[in-house]
Amino acid sequence: MVQTIAWTHEANRTFSQICTYLHETWSEKEVWRFTDLVSEKLALLERYPRLGSITKRRDIRKTVVHKNVILVYKYFPRKKKISLLKFWDTRQNPSKM
């Protein structure tokens, strides 16, 4: 079980960007749904930190939050810590990731 989940500056920035997009394009309700999905995923990661699939870099994992959003994170098993690296909108060019 994980003791801490730390948000990086990049994770905060990309999370805010997605929330802003949802608010401008859809509605406040969609922002709440998205934040609920993120909260549920973080609660799941606290219990099962190896839930996400391994990327090319073995120390970095990714997991689907929504069909259009992937959460990229790093798990430190010895420290029992997860560092959220980025929220990635899957509609973007994958080479920018």
Orientation angle between helical segments 28-47 and 9-25, nearest 10 degrees: 150
Q: Does pTM surpass 0.85?
A: yes
pLDDT for the residue 39:
97
pLDDT tens digits, 51-60? 999 988 888 9
pLDDT tens digits, 23-35? 999 989 999 999 9
Answer whether CATH 3.30.2310.20 is correct for domain 4-90: yes
Q: Is residue 97 pLDDT above 70, yes or no?
A: no
pLDDT for the residue 4:
93
pLDDT for the residue 61:
96
Quickly state the pLDDT bin for 3 (edges 50, 70, 90): confident
- Sequence-distant (6+) residues with CB within 8 A of 29 are none
